[in-house]
Structure 1
Amino acid sequence: MTQNNSISGHWLIVSDLDGTLLDHYDYSHGPVDDLLRRLELRQTPVILNSSKTLPEMLELRRQLHNRHPFIVENGSAVFIPADYFPEMPDCARERDEFWVIETGVPRGQLLEFLQADAAEHDAPYLSFARASCEEIVDATGLTPEQALAAQRRDYSEPLLWRGSEEEKQAFVSRVSAAGLSTLQGGRFLHLLGTTDKGGATLKLMECYRNYRDTDYRLIAAGDSPNDLDMLRVADIAVIIRAPHRQPPQLQARAGQRVIVSDAVGPEGWRETIGQLFP
């Protein structure tokens, strides 16, 4: 990275979690805590955008002292705290203390597809819906409590692939033919509706611009292929290095700035975002 990267104006930061804002192995966020406090003081919202479920995100928001909207299950739904904007967006519905913009499909529809597909083509993967708590703990490193929260999904199904690459590509083709989609995350192949982190981000950006009467610009930070749709829509795309794989390849569009961290995980988040907001 070069120095003197600081920026001015009104910005939103939309960030992936695992391997980006959180450590890939122990899910710690200590390296970014001071920077998150500084961003809050300067009224720069940090929007969490992850494959995680609503219960997982609520707990992480509490730990991170984050009060802003957030996006769950790889762009499948946008949760906005009620009264965060002057009025509820037309495309939203009320759910407990949130306004929710749903862009995904119900998980039941995804499980129906998996059941029918497995009956014809076998199932060389571990599905969260069929996994035990212990199996999820072994696959993710989560605590048992966190694993149970990860199972409480509304719009997507993570698959730990155990078959060949050829079998995976055939499965992906069948998913597409059924009008659904897949995203490859850091650990799992996610089955979901035709939605992504980028599309959900743009819907939320529209709310900010409409209801805050401010011309916000967007920074997006991520570390894996399932973040590319989010990175593509950003004015500044921040790619965080992972410990054991190459950074995802992003083809910058005209006028877009792309920054790749030197450090990995939350250390890389602090390095890059910290230079933009010294």
Structure 2
Amino acid sequence: MRVVLTSLEHTLLDPQTSGYGAARQALAALERRSIPLILISSSPRAQVELTRLALELEHPFITEGGMALYVPEHYFPDSVLDKSWIHRPPYYVQALGVPYEQLRQMLRALRLLLQADLVGFGDWTEAELAVTLGCSIEVAQMARQREYSEIFSYGGDPMLLQQAAAGLATENGSPLRLRAIELSATQSQWFLSASLDPDPLQTAVQILLKCYHDHLGSGEISLGIGSELQDSSFLVVTKTAVALPSPHVQSLWAQARDSWRLAELPGPAGWNDVVLTWLEETDGDE
């Protein structure tokens, strides 16, 4: 069977408008062939669900940088999902990250260690967050609905922050993970998560691909499309991996394997070309 896995940010979605209009031809081609499209995002479930709704997708998806994998009810037979899955209607969930409240505790601990003003999404009102991010109240509301990650602002020395985080762990011993991100031109933001898994995003993708294999009993022909460094985690486990041009693609391309491809166009236009080319190459291979 064929399956497409794609990051959303800077890849399927235009970084300026969050639109995907230039990818409509490829999206329609995937739908005609009943090829699953798996969305992968650093955003929380509420935001990814909104994109899934717009795209009319009913396939699994991965949120918060790989910290959670969601499979819709009745998508796979009961025999495919083992006891490690958590049933949270309307999904079955694989949680690879620690819960949000534990991350909030760790953020408070970091604040005390550094004696610094670390302000997380959970500290802002929706109106304040909307102003900070330059988005609507509705988008800010969804951005705050985090389950396995937190985003916070910090204007101090990044090395001091990393050193402080290295000395902390959650209740189950999960080490903290920090990644600098760019959400605002006026403040430095960090993506905070924690997991016992050394590469939760890669693990989430491997779990999902195994589910497809166990369900259909055949090997998958997978396409992975990304544009940022963290996307390398899932690109390395797809049969075909393509990087789209972006402000951060050089750090991703530094991790590239010999078989990876670099697309000519960025964003949804490049995504459209990549998918259509892949379909031409693989039509008839199943």
Q: TM-score, normalising length from structure 2? A: 0.84
- Segments of 5+ residues of structure 1 without an aligned counterpart are 1-9
Q: Secondary structure at the match of 1:19?
A: helix
Greater mean alpha carbon deviation, residues 87-96 or residues 160-169: 160-169
* Inter-CA distance 125–238: structure 2 relative to 1 (3 Å threshold): farther
CA offsets 1:13-69 (integer angstroms, 9 cap, x no match): 111111111111221111112211111111221100111111112111110111101
What RMSD, in angstroms, separates the aligned Cα atoms of the two structures?
2.3
1:123-160, Cα deviation, whole Å (9 max, x unpaired)? 45542111232443344443210111110011111234
The 1-side partners of 2:144 and 2:17 are apart by: 19
In the TM superposition, residue 97 of structure 1 has moved relative to its aligned partner by: 1.4
**How many Å apart are 1:197 and its aligned residue?**
1.8
Question: Could you tell me whether the CA contact under 8 Å between 1:110 and 1:156 is conserved in 2?
Answer: yes
SS in 2 for 1:74: helix
- Give the structure 1 partner of residue 175 of structure 2: 179
Q: TM-score scaled by structure 1?
A: 0.87
Task: Tell me, in whole angstroms, the C-alpha distance in 1 between the residues paired with 2:128 and 2:103.
Answer: 21
For residue 265 of structure 2, give the secondary structure of its aligned residue in structure 1: strand
> Are 1:12 and 2:16 counterparts?
no
Q: Distance in 2 between matches of 1:53 and 1:95?
A: 15
Letter in 2 for 1:15: T
Q: Aligned partners of 2:202 and 2:10: how far apart in 1?
A: 18
Alpha carbons 2:85, 2:93 under 8 Å: kept: yes
* Alignment partner of 1:236 out of 234, 240, 263: 240
How many percent of aligned residue pairs carry the same amino acid? 27
Match of 1:133 in 2: 126
Is 212-221 or 161-170 further displaced after alignment? 161-170
2:231 is paired with a residue whose SS is: helix
| 81-90 vs 199-208, which moves further | 81-90
How much has 1:121 moved relative to structure 2? 0.6
Task: Work out the CA distance in 2 between the residues paired with 1:242 and 1:153.
Answer: 26
Deviations 1:70-124 (A, max 9, x none): 1111111111111111215012121111111111110111111110121121345
Name the CA shift for 1:209/1:41 in 2 (closer, same or farther; >3 Å).
same
Indicate how the Cα distance of structure 1 residues 271 and 68 shifts in structure 2: closer, same or farther if over 3 A, else same: same
CA contact (8 A) 2:5 2:40 kept: yes
- How far apart are residue 181 of structure 1 and its match? 1.8
AA of the residue aligned to 1:210: D
Distance 1:23 1:57 in 2: 15
Task: State how many pairs are aligned.
Answer: 267
**In 1, distance between residues paired with 2:249 and 2:231?**
15
Pair 1:98-2:87 in alignment: no
Amino acid at match of 1:182: L
SS in structure 2 of the partner of residue 229 of structure 1: helix
- Hey, what's the Cα distance between the residues in 2 that align with 1:135 and 1:246? 34
Preserved contact between residue 40 and residue 66 of structure 2 (Cα < 8 Å): yes
Task: Label 1:160 to 1:18 Cα distance change in 2 as closer, same or farther (>3 A).
Answer: farther
**Unpaired segments ≥5 residues, structure 2:** 184-188, 281-286
- The answer to whether the 8 Å contact 1:26/1:141 transfers is no
5 Å-filtered alignment, 1:1-278, equals 10-87=1-78, 89-90=81-82, 91-123=84-116, 125-174=118-167, 179-185=175-181, 187=183, 188-194=189-195, 195=197, 196-243=200-247, 246=250, 248-253=252-257, 257-278=259-280
Query: What code does the residue aligned with 1:112 have?
Result: Q
What SS is found at the alignment partner of 1:241?
coil
Alpha carbons 2:162, 2:178 under 8 Å: kept: no
State the distance in 2 between where 1:261 and 1:18 align.
Answer: 16
Q: Distance in 2 between matches of 1:185 and 1:205?
A: 28
- 1:168-220 deviations in Å (ceiling 9; x for gaps): 43345345796222344454532112253211111111111111222113222
